[in-house]
Structures are given as C-alpha cells and as structure tokens.
Amino acid sequence: MRSGVVMKVLSKDELLSYLRKMWLIRFFEMALDELFGKGLIMGTSHFCAGQEAVAVGACAALRPDDAVTSNHRGHGHFIAKGGDPKRIMAEIFGRGTGYVGGRGGSQHMACFEIGFVGSNGITGGGIPIATGVALAFKLRGLDRVALCFFGDGAANTGYFHESLNMASIWKLPVIYLCENNLYAMSTPFDYAFPVEDVAARAAAYGIPSRIVDGNDVLAVRDAVKEAADRARSGYGPMLIEAKTYRYYGHSKSDYREYRTRDEELDWQRRDPIVRFERFLLSNGIAASEEIDEIRRSARAEIDEAVAFAEASPEPDERFVTYGVFA
Amino acid sequence: MHQQTKAKMDGSADREGERREIYFSWAIREALEQEMEMDSSVILIGEDIAVYGGAFRITKGLVEKFGPHRVIDTPISENSFVGIAVGAALAGLRPVVEIMFMDFITLAMDAIVNHAANFRYVYGEQAKVPIVIRCPAGGGRAYGATHSKTLEAWFMHTPGVKVVVPSTPYDAKGLLISSIRDDNPVIFIESKLLYSLRGHVPSEPYTVPLGKARVARDGSDITLISYGRMVQECEKAADMLLEDGVSAEVLDLRTLSPIDEEAIAKSVAKTGRAVVVAEDNRTAGASAEIACRVVENCFEYLDAPVKRVAAEDVPIPCAPNLERAILPNALKIYEAAKSLLDWGK
C-alpha cells in the first residue's frame, strides 16, 4: 500500500471510515453465522467475510448518486454503499422493519435512494441490470455510473458475455467488478476457466481491464476510481478483476470439502482488514487505541443491529398479496 | 407524393369524410411513434428494428425520426437486452422491446420471470418496471416450430407481468399506448396474421384500458370467449351459427392478465354456454385458465359443460395443411358450439 500517494488524496477520516466499514461487514457476517448456528434465522445466506476490501474499496470510489448492483453474496456491498446494518439484519430475520419488509431476505434487498439497485439471487442477474441502469444514465444525460459486483461464477453466464459486448458497443458508463474468490460454490476457478484470469475476457469485447489485489482496499479503490472517471467521461465500460477469497463456505450448508485448510489459512494471513490496520499503524495514520475503538464501535453497532432485528415485528400477513403491480 | 406513399404504407384509404381505416401493423407503429413524440423516456430496443424496421417492418422509419439512441438495434442477445431494458426501466426509461418472434422469448425468461416480474413486489414502491415486450406471435404462415408459437400461458402464470393481446387495429393502438404508459412489465402479443388486417383507427392518441374485455358481438345463446386472432375466427363461427338460427356472443378478453372475470361472468350468466378459444395449445394453456374461471364463477348458470378449442399439443408443424390441422379455426369453433347447443338432447 502506497502511503505517500494515499495521504495526499485521502484524509485520515476517510481512511478510518474504510476500516470501520470493513469491520462492520466482518462483524455482521460473524453475527449471522452465530445466529444461523443457534437456529434464530431461517433460510439461507452467503457470507462475504474475507472479501470486505472489494466492497468497501469500490464504493469508496463512487459518488453517492452512482448505482451498484449486487449478487447473492451482497450484505457487504449493501453496507459499503451506505446501507443501515439494522435494516439489513432485520430483512434477513424476515422482519417488517427490513429494507424491503421481509419480502426479499438475504438475496433480494434494495434501496434505490442510496443507489443500491438490488442484491440478486440469480448468478449473473445483476449484470444486465447494471448495464441497463447505465444505459438510462447515458440516455438521460446524467453523469452517473453503474457498478456491478459479481463473482467468478457469474463470468461464465451468458449475461456476462452478452452484456459486456453491448456495454462496449454502446460505450455505457458501467463498471464490471468481478470478485474472483476462486470458487463458484464448489467449482474451482481453474476447472471452470481455460484462462488464467477473468480479466482476459475483456479483450474479446474491446474493454480495458485491470487485475487488482482484492484484499487491498486502496488498490481496489484506485482501480474503480480510474474506471469511474473513464466511464463518466464517456469512454465506456471497464472490467476489474479483484482476486480475493471467502472465509466461510458458499452458503451456510457448505462443509468446504473442495478446498484445503492450508489454503484457507494462507488466505487468512492476507486478511484485508488486518493488512489495512497494519498499514494505518505503520504509516502513523492512526494509533492502535484509535483502531481498537473503531473495532469496538463497529462490534457494538452490529450488536445493536441484531437486537433491533430480534425486537422487530414480523411483516403483516394481511398485505402479503398486495403490491404485485405498481 | 409524400401523402400517397403514406397512404400506401399505413393501408389507409384517406378519402374525405370516411372513417380512417389502417392496417393493424400501422396502428402499432403509430402508437409507438406517438408515445415516443410525447415522452422522451420511451425508447425501442430489439434486433434489426432500426434501418431494417424489424422482421415485420413495424418500426420502419422510426430511427430516422428519433435517432439511433432511441431506436436501438441489439446484437442477438435476448436475455441480456431484455435484462438491460429492465435495468433501464428501473432507472427511469420506458423501454419497448421487440422480440422478433415470440418463440425467442424463451431466451429471455430469466430476465422476465426472475427480474422484471419480481422487482415491484419484492423491492416495494421504490421499484417500478415500465417495460413493454412486443412479441409477434402465432402460426398460419408455415414458419415451423421455432417461429410460430404463442406462449401467453407462461406469462399468465407469472405474477407481476401483464399479458395483453389485441385483436383489432383499434385495440392494437389503444392497448399498446396503455401498455407503454403502464408502470408494470407488459407482454404485448401481436398475431402475425393480424398485421394485414384493416380497421378503423383514430389518428390521435387514445387508450384502451388494460384488464377490460370487449363484447365483439352481442348474442344470447352461447358465448365464444377468446382473444387475439382467434376473435376473428370466433366471429366467423358466429356467422355460421347465425345461419343455423343461433345467436352467439363473442367476448374478446383483450388482456389475459389481469383477466376480466366480471365480463366473462356477465356474458355466460346471460347465455348459459361457453366455448373457450385459444391459439395456444391445450394442456395447461390459456384456455385451461379461462375455462376454469368460467366454471368457478358461473357454474350455476351453465346449461352445458365448458368446451375448449385450442391448438393440439404438438410442436407447430411447417407444412400449411399440417399447421391448419392443428390450429383452431372457425369450423372447429362452430362444431364445438353446436355440440354444446345439442348437449343433453
């Protein structure tokens, strides 16, 4: 991480806000894991612990009025874009105070007001949606961009190939951000891809690409900033591949038989949050007491989110058939 | 010269003092053109719709008038261009998508069923998906099994999308304008054989409300319930029945989702007999749902069982005689009606 350049551009407050958001996401997922374990939440969930730097770095490079689409592993994206952990937690609890009143659950939340155009339970489903949002931005003469989070698995869907092609020929202001966490559920990247990198595929569509260390929040931010500036100036889409890793299994029913504990430990040594803390300390940007305080307050905020969700009422069944049509 | 050319293209006689009659195809084009003039958020998306004007030339000339940023040719990527239209609709546009042949909508099912249809219900009031998906559909042109289907039943089965099927040039324009102005996803089904049908169409913009059926012909002995091109066949069958002294009512549903149960009940309560006619194939088809609504709502009024006339459960064959053999037509409708009139005798 390059402290000199970073400190010229980013204030201490800004940098500490990245740390806090990453901790919020980590604690959020840890809390969920515990709640599922205790049987306090129904349904399924896909945790993003280990990938926090991608969500936070990307959203840090966007404007509040830019849009993002997310996937099934979307809690981190939502928190990074400014979502309130209380209402995200309540949604996963199936409570009326959740972002979409319990109708969506973990994989189907949205808050258009803050530019979160939805998590998505169909792998790759967010790719054309983000592309279409970018088309609307362009045709309406707005200088906003759309960013699409998706995994390596989604890069094998037709949506990926078709949408990148159209975004390129129409020069749409869209950023394709692939979080390559090496496994599509259990399918290893090197089984499902005959190429080394997802980024290689950008060339087929005449789109520039970047490969970044997805566990380096500042590297992700830099790459997305470059893509956003480019898109805003009318030069069209970019594909960014962030190499990262998910600590938990694909979903809560996964025993991780397809990968080794050694590999997991190896990635944990490159933990994005620990690395960023070290960066802040070694460059004298923050003292260890400040970092401890950030961690403590993030933990407290997630505890509050759980308490809020648990105390919230269930959605009102009387309205379950309402609102199918606008 | 310009006038003459236009008169030819839209099929209008354009004689003074006469009601203007134009082709069904031109009525659709006119709806698109007038809505695009009125609302800059209306855009067209589809394969070969710009210079070529679409496989059926419906959008011919619109790119010259509105430019390539509003009449957008796409690569052959149905799932993604429908998905892109859904995203654009969420972000403030009103895309009208053309699926070249309705058979190809199978390639876009995820974008429609898992995305367009879900967003309003799941995301709530912040989300609306005002997208119209125009689908030239139906058999009768010997195009074979991948260019002839009518797939309305799949979308009647999908909560969150509306299904609209005009049967006349007047309705084609009015229902399409209503569909474009509607804030929900609409599957708009255009029977290819109706494109050359001429009928009265006012030149100014007007709407025909979605969800409201139309009594195409008043009658008292039996109700023929249908939609789209089969309404014409029902009217022919009604003529044949009239020669036998039978007064048949023809009910044109216009919209299959939402379906006008009230109009169905009102008509069947009056006539006591119903034949449901659909070009869609029989099993779990549109005719099954409509017939069920008749039975659920009108059982006490029925003097005979409900009959269905629908396409056979086979892929659409290509040879004209084979195709004719499996599709419903006036004679089959007439025979079904006669069997109900004779029922119990």
Q: pLDDT tens digits, residue range B106-140?
A: 999 999 999 999 999 999 999 999 999 999 999 99
Compute the half-sphere exposure of residue B7: CA atoms within 13 Å on the CB side of its CA.
9
Cα A16 from chain centroid?
19
Residue B12 confidence (pLDDT): 66
Q: What is the mean pLDDT of chain A?
A: 96
Q: What is the pLDDT along chain B (345 residues), one digit of tens a residue?
A: 344 445 556 666 555 557 899 999 999 999 999 999 999 999 999 999 999 999 999 999 999 999 999 999 999 999 999 999 999 999 999 999 999 999 999 999 999 999 999 999 999 999 999 999 999 999 999 999 999 999 999 999 999 999 999 999 999 999 999 999 999 999 999 999 999 999 999 999 999 999 999 999 999 999 999 999 999 999 999 999 999 999 999 999 999 999 999 999 999 999 999 999 999 999 999 999 999 999 999 999 999 999 999 999 999 999 999 999 999 999 999 999 999 999 987
Residue B36 confidence (pLDDT): 98
Residue A78 has pLDDT above 50, yes or no: yes
Residue B95 has phi, psi (to 5 degrees) of -75, 140
Residue A41 confidence (pLDDT): 92
Residue A251 confidence (pLDDT): 84
A173 closest CA partner among B88, B223, B7:
B88
Residues of B identified as active-site? 78, 147
Does the distance separating the beta carbons of A112 and B126 come in below 8 Å? yes
- Stretch among A7-21, A302-316, B119-133, B290-304 having the lowest mean pLDDT: A7-21
B138-175 pLDDT, tens digit per residue, is 999 999 999 999 999 999 999 999 999 999 999 999 99
In chain B, what's the furthest Cα-to-Cα distance? Answer: 65
Distance between A92 CA and the closest CA of chain B, angstroms: 13
Nearest to B160 among A131, A162, A324 (CB): A324
Does the distance separating the beta carbons of A169 and B88 come in below 8 Å? no
Nearest to A110 among B79, B126, B159 (CB): B126
Q: Which domains does chain B have, with CATH numbers?
A: 2-200 (3.40.50.970), 214-341 (3.40.50.920)
Residue A6 has pLDDT above 80, yes or no: no
Residue B239 confidence (pLDDT): 98
Pairing of strands B42-46, B71-73: parallel
Distance between B333 CA and the closest CA of chain A, angstroms: 35
Beta-carbon neighbour count of residue A266 at 10 Å?
Answer: 11
Residue A51 confidence (pLDDT): 98
A138-161 pLDDT, tens digit per residue, is 999 999 999 999 999 999 999 999
Contact B169, B204 (CB under 8 A): no
Query: What CA–CA distance (Å, rounded) separates A62 from A253?
Result: 34
B143 closest CA partner among B205, B56, B212, B211:
B56
Does the distance separating the beta carbons of B114 and A163 come in below 8 Å? no
Residue A15 confidence (pLDDT): 97
Nearest to B84 among A121, A122, A132 (CB): A132
Question: Looking at chain A from residue 165 to 224, which residues have their Cβ under 8 Å from any Cβ of chain B?
Answer: 165-166, 169-170
Pairing of strands B94-98, B42-46: parallel
Tell me which chain A residues have a C-beta less than 8 angstroms from the C-beta of B85: 132
**CB proximity A98 to B under 8 Å:** no
Distance between B180 CA and the closest CA of chain A, angstroms: 13
Query: What CA–CA distance (Å, rounded) separates B145 from B99?
Result: 16
Query: 């909508």: which residue's tokens?
Result: B105
Residue B1 confidence (pLDDT): 37
Residue A3 has pLDDT above 60, yes or no: no
Does the distance separating the beta carbons of B124 and A101 come in below 8 Å? yes
* E strand segments, B170-241: 186-191, 198-200, 214-217, 222-226
10 Å CB burial of residue A243 (0-12, 13-18, 19+) is buried
Pairing of strands B307-311, B274-281: parallel
H/E run at residue A243: strand A238-243
ipTM passes above 0.90? yes
Q: At residue B218, what is the residue type?
A: D
Question: Residue B287 corresponds to which tokens in the numbers above?
Answer: 């005719």
Handedness of CA B315, B319, B325, B330 (dihedral sign): positive
Question: Looking at chain A from residue 127 to 156, which residues have their Cβ under 8 Å from any Cβ of chain B?
Answer: 127-137, 139-140, 146
Contact B215, B168 (CB under 8 A): no
Question: Residue B161 corresponds to which tokens in the numbers above?
Answer: 């999308």
